[in-house]
Amino acid sequence: MTMQTTRRQALTLGGGLLAAPLAGHAQAAPEKCLRYAFLVAETGFDPAQLSDLYSRIITSHIFDAPYKYDHLARPFKVKPNTAEALPEVSADHRTWTLRLRPGIYFADDPAFGGRKRELVAEDYVYSLKRIFDPALKSPLYSAYLQEGILGLQALRDEALKGKKPFDYDRPVEGVRALDRYTLQFRLRDPRPRFIYSLAAGDTYGAVAREVVERYGDDIMAHPVGTGPFMLERWRRSSFIRLVRNPGFRELYYDAEPNADDAEGQALLARFKGRRLPMLDAVEISIIEEGQPRWLSFLNRQFDLLFLLPEEYADVAVPNGRLAPNLAKQGLKLHRVLASDRTLVYFNMEDPIVGGYAPEKVALRRAIALGTDLEREIRGPRRNQAIPAQSVVSPMTWGYDADYRNPMSEYDPARAQALLDLYGYRDRDGDGWREMPDGSPLVLEYASQPDSRSRPYEELWKRDMDKLGLRLRVRSAQWPENLKAARAGQLMIWQLGFSSSTPDAQLGLELLYGPAAGGQNLGRFRLARFDQLYEKMLGLPDGPERLAALREIQRLTTAYMPHKYRVHRIVNDLSHPWVHGYRRPIFTQQFWQYLDLDPARQIKT
């Protein structure tokens, strides 16, 4: 859907809401279709091959994990989803056993030959094996490798060594279907928080083998799951339409909000007992520019503004409150401090900014000290953020609002002194510093060709100019930048990472050596960091684990593989005919909990 789409066209994209009924026939109930926009294009819909947020929003509504997060509980509560109950866990946290609910079915698809296909334990075995298949190059591989699931890495090594297809039929000790509905995991080491991996619906949703084998290399375009929605239409990087899965199991609205959570209690009182999903369809347009997304929402072409463009924060939420003119229209503001962090990563294999020698560390530290973060928050972010001190996000275990990173200060004089001390000087008098050996020093900053990115490019240029560091912007669409980043071809890139579990561990994976080329896009490798990371995996939450986390924070400050920037304050807006919206924290699921009034939607 483009900005030129008329109101009538926007409403008929999903199947003709405004078509006149035939004479003598009762008019069908209007479709409850939620419409909103992504600001970044999706990459596809195969859970094993995804790491980007927007694709995972889609897959989390198509595929089911065994567990889920309570929609209203804050900060979090893990509950059964396709499992009957919470898992049975051995005393040493090495064996996890769960039983699936019988009678859950995949959405109909030609891959099943016309039969109803029940979800069984073997589907989760197969889905996990796919993450370890080297042919898929799954960005999730390192996250599940760290869990120490017995036998999977050996299966992967065998495929790599023999240069042959991954053997999906070979049983492994670490993930087994004990019977049709019973699934068991056996882990090499204690993993007290393994349930978070079992609740990751956007990454560990059940995939049917028949579907993968039918569609092969085109599997990214053919997601078939057991979740509440199914893909109906997809125009790549433009438009996505999903509809209610007609075979979705009986599931009713229920939740456990905190007793003092007035909003959560009101939502529970309103919707408790309603069958899910309440929507018939969801339509998503891809609109990267902030102005057309904002205007489309104001013109009622969209029902939800998922992430208010920062440049309109002063207009829409002055001083953090909904503007009076918008409140008079019945719009609702949904404002939270996100469990995320934005950062700039340095490619540690790059010959200019990478490496662990003192002069390389000094260059990265100088860049960090020369970054005017408060100007970024006041300027393009319109005060919709707070400074980030480390990779640990708000609302995750180990976050300390009082923690201060000494390299988070803006101190250009100290940055200049560091550069001078380590030999980064202007030798030819052109105003730009050279490398210590006299070779050219050009920083290459990856960005996207959109208006949202330009203010950040300008800030970077301004800050680096002050230091005498020449900056060149490398511009490409976000999916192309992600592909280049995974291949180690970007020098510097700014990214945002949202927490998908309540634990800091997953965020630390961004720096874990074995995750290089996957989640660790900067390819940071430090033996002491990896030791601490692996130690934390097996420790229960407590003082010893927290001490390891604090040492990790000191190491990242010392080596500066990332410059941490902000934790964002997220503002979402909804029209008055949208009911039940609440931004999730550690999951991407929210569509099935929404309702809307299509009569009001159509009349406006």
Which one-letter DSSP state was computed for residue 5? -
- Using one digit for the tens of pLDDT, what is the confidence trace for 434-488? 999 999 999 999 999 988 899 999 999 999 999 999 999 999 998 899 999 999 9
- Which ranges of 256-319 would DSSP assign to H, the alpha helix? 262-271, 290-298, 313-316
Q: What is the mean pLDDT of residues 70-94?
A: 96
517 band by pLDDT with thresholds 50, 70 and 90: confident
Predicted confidence at residue 119, as pLDDT, reads 98
Question: How many CB atoms within 10 Å of residue 571?
Answer: 23
The β-bridge relationship of strands 442-447 and 470-475 is parallel
* Cβ burial 467-478 (10 Å sphere, 16+ → b, else e): bbbbbebeeeeb
Predicted confidence at residue 202, as pLDDT, reads 80
**Which pair of tokens denotes residue 282?**
């969801």
Tell me the residue length of the chain: 604
> How open is the CA angle 325-336-576, to the nearest 5 degrees?
40
Phi, psi values for residue 6, rounded to 5°: -75, 170
pLDDT at 65 over 90: yes
pLDDT at 303 over 60: yes
Whole-model pTM: value is 0.86
Q: Taking a C-beta distance cutoff of 8 angstroms, is the pair 96, 192 a contact?
A: no
Distance, in Å, from the CA atom of 57 to the CA atom of 560, rounded to the nearest integer, reads: 31
Q: Which residues pair with 38 in a beta bridge?
A: 286
Specify the CATH number of the domain 44-227: 3.90.76.10
Phi, psi values for residue 130, rounded to 5°: -60, -35
Tell how far CA 18 is from the center of its chain. Answer: 36
The residue assigned the tokens 């105003």 is: 431
Which one-letter DSSP state was computed for residue 238? T
Tell how far CA 191 is from the center of its chain. Answer: 23
Which residues are CB-neighbours of 528 under 8 A, at least 6 positions away?
Answer: 555
Predicted confidence at residue 21, as pLDDT, reads 39
pLDDT at 231 over 70: yes
What average pLDDT does the chain have? 93
Query: What's the one-letter identity of residue 116?
Result: K
Of the ranges 58-62, 264-268, 478-482, which one carries the lowest mean pLDDT score? 478-482
Domain 340-568 CATH assignment equals 3.10.105.10: yes
Of the ranges 62-66, 219-223, 470-474, 478-482, which one carries the lowest mean pLDDT score? 478-482
Predicted confidence at residue 604, as pLDDT, reads 55
Distance, in Å, from the CA atom of 383 to the CA atom of 568, rounded to the nearest integer, reads: 9
User: Would you list the domain boundaries of the chain?
Assistant: 44-227, 340-568
Q: Which CB contacts under 8 angstroms, 24+ apart, belong to 331-334?
A: 331/573, 331/574, 331/575, 331/576, 332/573, 332/574, 332/575, 332/576, 332/578, 332/581, 333/571, 333/572, 333/573, 334/571, 334/572, 334/573, 334/574, 334/581, 334/582, 334/583
